Amino acid sequence: MALPSNSILCQLGWSGSEDTGLGRVVSTERGWANVLGLDDARVPQLLKLSQAVGQPVVGDWVLCSKKNPQDNLEVNKILNRTSLLQRRAPGKVLASQPIAANIDIVGIVTSVGKRFNINKIERYVISTLAAEVTPIVIVNKIDKEDPKPYLLELKEAFPTITAIAISAKTGEYLPDFISLLKTRSTVVFVGDSGVGKSTLTNVFVGLEIQPTGLVRDGDAKGRHTTTRRELFITNSEHVIVDTPGMREFGLWNARHGLNTLYQDMVELEAQCKFSDCKHLSEPGCAVKEAISSDSIPAVRLENYRRLSEEIEASHTTGVRVPKDLLRGGRK
């Protein structure tokens, strides 16, 4: 039976039929998950994970049940994910860190001023494309500065990616952003600390639900006000996931995303004489030819090569990528 449109599961984005014990993970703790939508309840329930269920991620759809009538409800199944945004876990371990599941849009939030970093934005874009999710770059705080140069830089760097400039503070251009979202779709906000992800979440939810941080003038460092990922239903009938600022963003399982963003390079490579061409000094190298005839800038090859190496290394070795690169610097 289809669910009524005012049911909480519907508001959370569920479009299937009614399912007993179904809910959506709004936040997680070690061994536990906060699940919303069970029995159409408007408040989440903190439930223990049953053994062998695996680790749910915010945004997951889960099935919950009791072993015996007198027991507490437990999460005992994670439904197949339609999408998963992930990065390489920070630190020495060679592992992925899932950020959010079953998302439709990744809102890559940045702001005018010192926090704007095109290389860091590129990392988010590649990872979003790798997850087969649509990225939208959001340049926030346009009440402080004209966003035109930032939008131009984005258009030049990522001609196929949607970018929009807004002010979460004054609400300017927010309706334009909302008009890009399908009803009941799930959007996750990612970006550096202090760019305004929680401020934007509050505007959407219509309540001061997330604490927001003070940013010191003249200092581009954020304070990491948000400390966990959390999912909310908004006034505009969307679902938003707010996340803590990520200082480093390592690529994980992102080859598909890199190849999508650098399709020109992939096509050129296919025309090189040798299939294992490194585009250094091999004869018949289509990439080098394109650079010498100025059809692609040399820096594009450098970036492509560096990101390719990072993706290969992240899968095969524990080699750590220099922090500076993960933070959006370049060699």
Ligand X SMILES: Nc1nc2c(ncn2[C@@H]2O[C@H](COP(=O)(O)OP(=O)(O)OP(=O)(O)O)[C@@H](O)[C@H]2O)c(=O)[nH]1
Which CB atom, from 306 or from 327, has the smaller least distance to Zn ion? 306
Helix (H, G, I), strand (E, B) or coil at 129: helix
222: contact with ligand X by CB under 6 A: yes
Give the x-and-dash track for 285-324 against Zn ion (CB under 5 A). x-x-------------------------------------
- Conformation bin of residue 14: beta by default, left when phi > 0, alpha when psi is -120 to 50: beta
The residues in 181-220 that bind Zn ion, with binding defined as CB under 5 A, are: none
187: contact with ligand X by CB under 6 A: no
Instruction: Work out the number of other CB atoms within 10 angstroms of the CB of residue 82.
Output: 15
Tell me which H or E stretch contains 299.
helix 298-316
What is the residue type of 59? G
Which CB atom, from 164 or from 268, has the smaller least distance to Zn ion? 268
Q: Which of 29, 143, 219, 267 binds ligand X (CB under 6 A)?
A: 143
Q: Among ligand X, Zn ion, Mg ion, none, what does residue 115 contact (CB within 5–8 Å per kind)? A: none
In angstroms, give the least distance from the CB of 182 to ligand X.
24
Cα distance between residue 254 and residue 275, in whole Å: 21
107: contact with ligand X by CB under 6 A: no
- Sheet of 105-111, strand order: 162-165, 134-140, 105-111, 186-190, 239-242, 230-233
Which CB atom, from 7 or from 117, has the smaller least distance to ligand X? 117
Which CB atom, from 21 or from 213, has the smaller least distance to ligand X? 213
272: contact with Zn ion by CB under 5 A: yes
Alpha carbons within 13 A on the beta-carbon side of 35: 28
Point out which residues bind Mg ion (CB under 5 A).
197-198, 225-226
328: contact with ligand X by CB under 6 A: no
Name the residues that contact ligand X, by CB under 6 A.
Answer: 140-141, 143-144, 167-169, 193-199, 212-215, 222-226, 244-245
